[in-house]
């Protein structure tokens, strides 16, 4: 099977981008990272891309009068690079419904909670405020409504008594780095069928869509 040309959209350090780049080094991985786009020129993820030999482009949202014009420039970059799949990895811009629908079932996002719980911002602080025993991350297909869409992979992380939002975020990130490459492999490998708002994994192996933090995997 030919590897699917994939772009990663970022705004910051790009640690999930690095996880995807590392996975794609395997020639048997079904996706190839062909382009990285950042809306912030100072994003360290751009350097990660350059070190991996992947073209890195800045499309600074502040240079455009409207979201539509900004996204048209991103679309032009994706089209020029022959991109087939898009991963949002810490991309801190809400995309218009038109862009999301153009990439329907071909665009992934990762969110630091067990969706549908804790959509939106300040996730870890809200988890702690509620006294939840576990939290995690979800990789899902993107829909126009924020943090909604068919879920491919989820990772479960314990909430510890001495956690603060930063400490909890670091533990969740450990699982994100495992979940995102797995979900992209599923989509790029043609193993995902969408029925309504459910992602059906073809030939699913038990537990394949669930990742446990090492402290839970005992």
Q: What CATH number has the domain bearing residue 213?
A: 3.40.50.170
Q: How much is the pLDDT for 216?
A: 87
Q: Which domain holds residue 141?
A: 109-218
Q: How much is the pLDDT for 187?
A: 98
Q: How much is the pLDDT for 198?
A: 96
State pTM to two decimals.
0.96
Catalytic status, residue 61: no
Look at the chain and report how many structural domains it folds into.
2
Q: How much is the pLDDT for 218?
A: 61
Whether residues 99 and 9 share a domain: the answer is yes
Whether residues 43 and 119 share a domain: the answer is no
Query: Any residues with CB less than 8 A from the CB of 142 and at least 6 apart, and which?
Result: 88, 95, 100, 103, 107, 108, 109, 149
Whether residues 95 and 176 share a domain: the answer is no
Q: How much is the pLDDT for 217?
A: 67
Whether residues 139 and 216 share a domain: the answer is yes
Domain's final residue, options 103, 128, 145: 103
Q: Which residues of the chain have pLDDT under 50?
A: none
Q: How much is the pLDDT for 209?
A: 97
What tokens were used for 115? 């969706």
Cis peptide before 80 (omega within 30 of 0): no
Whether residues 113 and 161 share a domain: the answer is yes
* Separation in Å, CA 109 to CA 9, 13, 36, 39, 153: 10, 16, 15, 16, 11
Pick the catalytic residue: 61, 111, 177, 213? 111
Q: What is the mean pLDDT of the chain?
A: 97
């Amino acid at each position: 099977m030919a590897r699917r040309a994939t772009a990663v959209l970022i705004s910051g350090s790009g640690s999930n981008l690095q996880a995807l780049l590392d996975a794609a080094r395997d020639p048997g991985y079904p996706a190839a990272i062909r382009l990285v786009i950042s809306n912030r020129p100072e994003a360290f993820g751009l350097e990660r891309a350059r070190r991996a030999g992947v073209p890195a482009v800045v499309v600074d949202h502040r240079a455009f009068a409207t979201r539509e014009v900004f996204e048209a420039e991103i679309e032009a970059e994706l089209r020029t690079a022959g991109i087939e799949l898009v991963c949002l990895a810490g991309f801190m811009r809400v995309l218009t419904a038109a862009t999301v629908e153009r990439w329907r079932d071909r665009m992934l996002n990762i969110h630091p909670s067990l969706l549908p719980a804790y959509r939106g911002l300040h996730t870890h602080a809200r988890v702690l405020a509620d006294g939840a025993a576990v939290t995690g991350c979800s990789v899902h297909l993107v829909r126009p409504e924020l943090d909604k869409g068919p879920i491919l992979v989820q990772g479960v992380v314990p909430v510890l008594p001495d956690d603060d939002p930063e400490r909890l975020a670091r533990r969740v990130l450990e699982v994100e780095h495992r979940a995102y490459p797995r979900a992209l492999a599923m989509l790029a490998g043609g193993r995902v069928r969408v029925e309504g708002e459910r992602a059906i994994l073809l030939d699913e192996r038990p537990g394949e869509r669930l990742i446990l933090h090492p402290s839970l995997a005992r």
